[in-house]
Amino acid sequence: MTRPVMERAHSSASHARMPARDDWQTAFARRLAITDLLVVAWAVAGTQIAWFGLDDADVSIREHFSDLSLSYFAVSIILGLAWMAALAAFGTRDHRIVGTGTTEYKRIVDATIRLFGVVAIVAYLLKIDLARGYIITAFPLGLLALLAARWLWRKWLGVQRAHGAYSSTVLLVGSVDSVRHIARELERTPEAGYRVVGACVPHSALGEVLPGTAIPLSSDLDDVDRMMLATGADTLVITSSDELPPERIRELSWSLEPGRQHLVVAPSLTDIGGPRIHTRPVAGLPLIHVETPRYDGLKSVSKRTFDVVASGLLIVLLSPALALIAMTVRLSTPGPVLFRQQRVGLNGETFHMLKFRSMVVDAEQRLAEVAARARAEGNAVMFKMKDDPRVTPIGRVLRRYSLDELPQLFNVFAGQMSLVGPRPPLDREVAVYEKHVHRRFLVKPGITGLWQVSGRSNLSWEDTVRLDLYYVENWSITGDLVILWRTMRAVLAREGAY
């Protein structure tokens, strides 16, 4: 790296409006701790007041301490302190997990459940007459409040990280393709908390910046220490490269400042969910075991059961709305109420997908004419148009709130679709699929999915495929519930709904 580029990188790092690594980690952990304390105090104190009022009550200890009693005020203090200790012991404020993923929430749930389990065991062994209502109320109330508070902090942190603050600063080392790929993925998800400030591609003849980016670039591995200092990087991320033998990677790790600079190794395997990844040290080698996805057995049965029960209940509950929409469509424009279109589903088999008709009856015949017009929506495979002239006035309202999709509940109940899954494609779209895209047919298509809650019609074809394949590789019932929750927000936002 030349001196001007190093100086620009150093200037950019020094003027970034962001606290130092240790500062932001400590400050944010302190904010979380204060919030946790307020939430826990509110939960235990509120429960005590709800059950016993403002007058303090006593709890007796009947085993070996017949004359000993303890006020609920003291019990609340002890429970609150123990709760805070459990949250700290389980690492719920670790900077590596806050702000992204589900680990933060899982640790809060685990710490709370274990704490109240210990409380129940101690109360049983010592014959402490704790009011069941006190425990039954404080436990879920405090847990839900903790999760809600962390969710709010996560939203705040995401905004800060989108502007480059409260993030680890990263120097990438590896081949040009792997470095560019990792840089693009980290830029795509700033909420993960990694901001790339430099890159090193050994023995490359590239320029002063990584091609296609503004990231300062070096081609000399011996320059890594100086580059980390100049860019202010605190995390060294090593990607795949033939120029990095095990001995050289070990030397790079030794050169890092203990406690302040960190080493991360990024394998070439991407878009794999956390539950499928297991790290196992063998003979000094950190082997990463990746479980292959399964589409049968208990998971498949549970997904089908969920689809049948949920779609059946929704059909019954929404039957008045379905009837009202059907009548409105029938009376507003000439033509049938339902639009039946052949789509490709599980294992490449075709089925007729149902929708409320939102277009004129000759919409398919006019497709070629409309497709020839200039438009910014859609992508190379899927046709989308924001102001499609074939859409009827009532159809625009239905599409805006995704009400035209409701008849697909009958496809789900019949087993042709799932509530959550990849988008069901048309035959003409499948005809231009690359080979790897056919992997989306390993699961049933869904009414909603990752692509719907991540931008819908605003996404490029590559992003649509990436999201659908990620779902296929990592689907779970928990993931489906999260997508359904995000779907409700996406529908209300109406972004990308044409």
Q: What is the pLDDT of residue 16?
A: 39
Residue 203 and residue 256 in contact, taking contact as beta carbons nearer than 8 Å: no
For range 469-496, the mean pLDDT: 80
- Rounded to two decimals, what is the model's pTM? 0.68
Segment 258-315, tens digit of pLDDT: 877 888 888 766 666 566 676 777 766 677 777 667 777 788 899 999 999 999 999 9
Res 11: pLDDT: 39
Confidence of residue 7 (pLDDT cuts 50, 70, 90): very low
Residue with tokens 């405090």: 142
Question: Contact at 8 Å (CB) between 315 and 414?
Answer: no
pLDDT reported for residue 318: 94
**Per-domain boundaries in the chain:** 3-18+167-268, 21-162, 298-493
Residue 14: predicted pLDDT: 38
Q: Which residues contact 236 (CB under 8 A, 6 or more apart)?
A: 170, 171, 173, 224, 228, 252, 253, 256, 261, 262, 263, 264
| 89 close to 112: Cβ distance less than 8 angstroms | no
Residues 97 and 422: their CA atoms lie apart, in Å, by 28
The owner of tokens 């489906």 is 480
CB 259 within 8 A of CB 253: no
The class that CATH gives domain 3-18+167-268 is alpha beta
- Supply the pLDDT for residue 10: 42
b/e per residue 215-239 (b: at least 16 CB within 10 A): bbbbbebebbeebbebbbbbbbbbb
Q: Are 417 and 402 in contact (CB under 8 A)?
A: no
DSSP reduced 3-state for 83? helix
Tens of pLDDT, residues 317-345? 999 999 999 999 998 888 899 999 999 99
Separation of alpha carbons 330 and 323, rounded Å: 11
What is the pLDDT averaged over residues 50-73? Answer: 64
pLDDT above 80 (res 1): no
